[in-house]
Amino acid sequence: MSLWTRGAAASAAALLLSACGPSSVEIHAPELSKADAAACRTLVGDLPDRLAGHARVETTGDTRYGAAWGDPAIVLTCGVGRPAGFNDTSSCVTMNRTGWFVPDSVLLSSDETRDVTTTELNYRPRVRLFVPGGYRPEGFTNSIGEIGRLIEHDLRRTGRCH
């Protein structure tokens, strides 16, 4: 095998290996006030290297306002708006002092493999957490428990979602 052929084969192998690895996750945060942006940066700076047993992975986009762990990724975004489907009669999954809205279509489903997008509503700015269905149920509970402690410490309590 010629030197060029070996080099081309090595390059192709490296390309294939990089294509098989976890891809980076893009964070999309809305426009934030100065106070909310600062609070989100503090929260994101305090996030752990591991969440629910998964290592933190690379993110792109608005990286100061979110993070991701695992493959498929658990994704946190800080500074999100009110979740679709939430109203005055909605209930929340409570963990310590945090209240997480989970849409009824997921909350009332017996399918434990469904992805969960949950939003914390007791503190501002709001935090959204996406948990892939394959990590349920422990991954969901562990994630909101670990993140909840940081939310209580870093963000401002504004209400109570039951």
Q: What is the average per-residue pLDDT within 110-126? A: 95
Kindly tell me the burial class for residue 88, based on how many C-beta atoms sit within 10 Å of its own C-beta (0-12, 13-18, 19 or more). exposed
What confidence tier does 159 reach under pLDDT thresholds 50, 70, 90?
Answer: confident
Alpha carbons 123 and 96: distance in angstroms, whole number? 13
Q: What would the pLDDT profile of 5-33 be if each residue is shown by its tens digit?
A: 333 333 333 333 333 445 789 999 889 99
* Predicted local distance difference test score (pLDDT) of residue 119: 97
Distances (CA, A) of 96 to 4, 44, 110, 143, 151: 61, 20, 25, 13, 11
* Structure tokens, 58: 């690379």
Token reading at 117: 């997008």
Minimum mean pLDDT among 14-18, 65-69, 85-89, 133-137: which range? 14-18
Ranges of each domain in the chain:
24-157
Low-confidence winner among 6-15, 70-79, 83-92, 132-141 (lowest mean pLDDT): 6-15
pTM of the entire structure? 0.84
Mean residue pLDDT of the chain comes to 86
Work out the percent of the chain whose per-residue pLDDT is above 70. 86
User: What value does the mean pLDDT take over residues 77-105?
Assistant: 93
User: 87 burial class (0-12, 13-18, 19+ CB within 10 angstroms)?
Assistant: exposed
Tokens of 27: 């964070």
